[in-house]
Every structure is written in C-alpha cells, then in structure tokens.
Amino acid sequence: MTGTAPPHLMGHLAPVADEIDAVELPVDGALPRELTGRYLRNGPNPLPGEVSAHWFAGHGMVHGVRLRDGRAEWYRNRWVRTAALEGRSFVRADGTFDHSVGHANTHVIEHAGRIMALVESSFPHVLTPELDTVGPDDFGGRLTTAMTAHPKTDPVTGELHFFGYGIRPPFLTYHRLSADGELVTSAEVAVPGPTMMHDFAITDRHAVFLDLPMTFQPQLLAEGMPFGWDDAYGARLGVMPLDRPGEVRWFDVEPSYVFHVGNAHTDAAGRVVLDAARYGAPDAVAMWGGLGSDPAGPAAAAAATGTAHLHRWVLDPVTGAATETALDDRAVEFPTVDDARVGREARYRYAVADSGGGAAIIKFDAAHGARTEHDLGGDTVAGEAVFVPSAAPDRAEDDGWLLSITTRRDGSASQLLVLDATDVAGPPVAAVTLPRGVPSGFHGSWIDDAALARR
C-alpha cells in the first residue's frame, strides 16, 4: 500500500494481495505433539486495488496453520469466496438485505464437524479443512436472519447458541443449533430499535444480551459503518432463560459499549455474572471515532483514543439490581476463556493489550485479582490469544497453551506464537515463522482433528 492509503490499510493492517501455500514451516522451540489440528484466523482483506471505507468492511480472508506430530506442516491463506467477493451487493432492489452475500470476515469456528466463516451481517459460509469455500448455509432454510460472529457453544450439551440483529424488525432474534448442527430454536427478542450487538454471553441456563447505545444511523453509510453512539438510547443487559426463548428480564446499566464478552456464569445465589471488555461512554465515542482512521486496530486505537477495561456486571433477578465493578486498570481487548468453561465459573481470562509503545498477551486470575503479561515489545502486535487445553484428564483450568498470530508493526513478518498458559510471562514454548506478514485481523479458533472427524 502507498502512503495515500487509509491507515487501516497500512502497516500491520495492510492486506495481502494473493493466496499462497507453504509447507514444513520453521519452528523455534518445540511444538507440543498434542497440538494436532489447525489454527485458523479470520480478518478483513480487500482485493488488490480495492480501498475499503472502514477497517471492518474488507472481504474475509482466513489464514491457517496445520500442526501435527510436533511439526508445522503448512500455512495457507484463502479469501472466503462469498457473492460479495464476486461483486454482488448484499442490498436487494427493495432495500432488504440478502444474508447469503456478506463479507464473512470476522470469525471462523467449528461446529458439528463443519468449519464456518462468520460475519454478523450474513449467513455463515462453510469452508473445507483446506480453506476452500463451500458456500453460505441457512441450515436448510430455517435461518432467516443474519448470524452473529460470536456464537457460544455450551461445553456440556454441545449446542450452539447465537443471535442475529438487523436494522429492520425483527431487530433481534435468538437461535439455537443442536450438537448435530440442526437449527432447532428461533425466537424474537423485543428491543426498542436497531443496535450494533456484536457479542453476547451464555450461562448454563441463560443467554445474556447487550442492548447498548451504538445504533443504526443511515446518514453514516458513506463512512463505511452506519452505526454511531446514541446518548438517547440508554443501556441495558437482558437475561433470557434458555428454556423460555424470547422471555427476557432487562437490567439498566451505565451507558457503555462492549465489543467482546469474556465469559458469564450463574452463581450459587442465582445471579448472572458477566465479564467483558467495557468502554465507558466517553471512551466508546472516542474509540468508535478512531476505528475508521487509527492504524492500530481495537487494542491500540483504544489506548490512544478510548480504552476498554475488564469489567463485571452482577445481575440479580430477585432484586432487579445490577452492580458494576472494574476488574482491572489495564486497557485490553479480545478477551477469551477456556472453551470448557464457557457459561461456567472460570478462574482465568486471557486478553491482548497494545499501548502503541508495547504489546502484550495477558492472563487474568480472578481468584487472586492478579495479572500476568507476556511482553512483546514495541515492534510487534498480538492477535487474539486462543486457549488450547492439554489432553490430561484431570488438568488444571490453565493447563494448556495460548496460540496467537503476532505481526511486526510494519507488517513485514509474522509468527504463530505458542505460550504455556500456566507461565504466560515465560518464554514461548514455540514460535512458527510464517511465510509472510499476516495482517492483524479479528478472531480465530483452534480446531483439532477429532472435531472435524465428528462430521
């Protein structure tokens, strides 16, 4: 990219121009032999010559690294071949949205043995294990809304809970897939208007919705993202029993915005406890204004123009009260948790931070209020850290590894970094040198071979 490109297309955010394959990648250290599968990560990547109006708007590209027998067998990257990639508009002639088009640029997950690339404005797009695109999936015609890029898998039932939001009624719809991938539940959730609801949470018995004041504003369409802060909308969190879809108890909270939830659980008193990376109202306004122009992405843009901090809400269905507590003073984004603890009480959270002068991968210990950091220095930025558990049957919660694609701030080189989750501040267990600089992107997953064998 030239110096005239928007900042979100420069440096470590600069898109790549082609798809490549590389085999037998160099490894510093020793890859754990238990890591047998694929690390996949999605993000926006406009086609050569395209200039996206906003960082969130580029076509989806999935980068993958195949690990097996202590080797990094291959790296490859592929655009998600949506209809939008071929030039088709997702807006129909009557002004409604065609959810089969989309950019599919935000997340990539596995469910029921299938790999799906996700964006919150569209249907999921199914990929092969080699990252070829099969096509959009509406689950046999049952899905009629978009699908969030942040579905939640219940680790006990194997069910996938998700939602879709829209700019026209129904503004919010809850959905549930069976463990076998069948859409078995859809229910409208009443909200006052169209908001950008990027994430949500589940507990073992609830779904938790975030109805926050980032609303659809059509006058902002020319800026690439037609959503903006709305002081008049209010802010509230909704608790829906999973056995009563559509019935929601709402709790008013201080105005704020949340891109990403850390986790939630129901405590012994029946209260819902939600942790997330929270932007207070002034920080949310500053952060949102910076995303279209700041070259650093959510973590560093937040540090420069508006910060998110790990925050906790406790929602009491008996009293109707919501209490709010800041859990840490470090500016962070992309909080993650052990997938086996989704919807359950968890001791550890992981996140990334970037002050602009130095990046880090962070581990929070909720039991002791402690924070541990793996410092990456000033020249490298970290992507979302995905926890991969060890295979030990009696493992501790943090017995496993953190996987993250790190990229030089100038975009010149990248690694797949493997950290010991029990010793995050220690030296990497292994670092796989990737054959190119991988643009900083959004979200990814570790998909082991056993998961794909379930299909």
- Spatial CA neighbour of 418 closest among 387, 439, 372: 387
Pick from 198, 260, 255: which is nearest to 225 by CA?
Answer: 198
Residues annotated in a binding site? 150, 198, 260, 443
Residue ranges at the known binding site for Fe cation:
150, 198, 260, 443
For residue 290, the SS3 value is: helix
Q: Contact 309/333 with Cβ under 8 angstroms?
A: no
| Spatial CB neighbours of 443, under 8 Å, sequence gap ≥ 6 | 41, 42, 106, 107, 108, 149, 150, 334, 384
Which pair of structure tokens corresponds to residue 9?
A: 């297309």
On whether the CB atoms of residues 108 and 62 are closer than 8 A, the answer is: yes
Coil/strand/helix, residue 367:
coil
Judge whether 189 and 176 are in contact, CB under 8 Å: no
ω into 32 cis (within 30 of 0)? no
Distance (Å, rounded) from C-alpha 149 to C-alpha 439?
A: 19
Pairing of strands 107-111, 114-118: antiparallel
CA distances (Å), origin 172, targets 107, 165, 169, 188, 371: 20, 4, 8, 6, 36
Using CB atoms within 10 Å of the CB of residue 10, give its burial: 0 to 12 exposed, 13 to 18 middle, 19+ buried.
Answer: middle
Kindly list the distances between the CA atom of residue 225 and the CA atoms of 54, 67, 172, 288, in Å, as whole numbers in the listed order.
Answer: 7, 37, 19, 10
Label residues 146-171 b or e (16+ Cβ within 10 Å = b).
bbbbbbbbbeeeebbbbbbbbbeebb
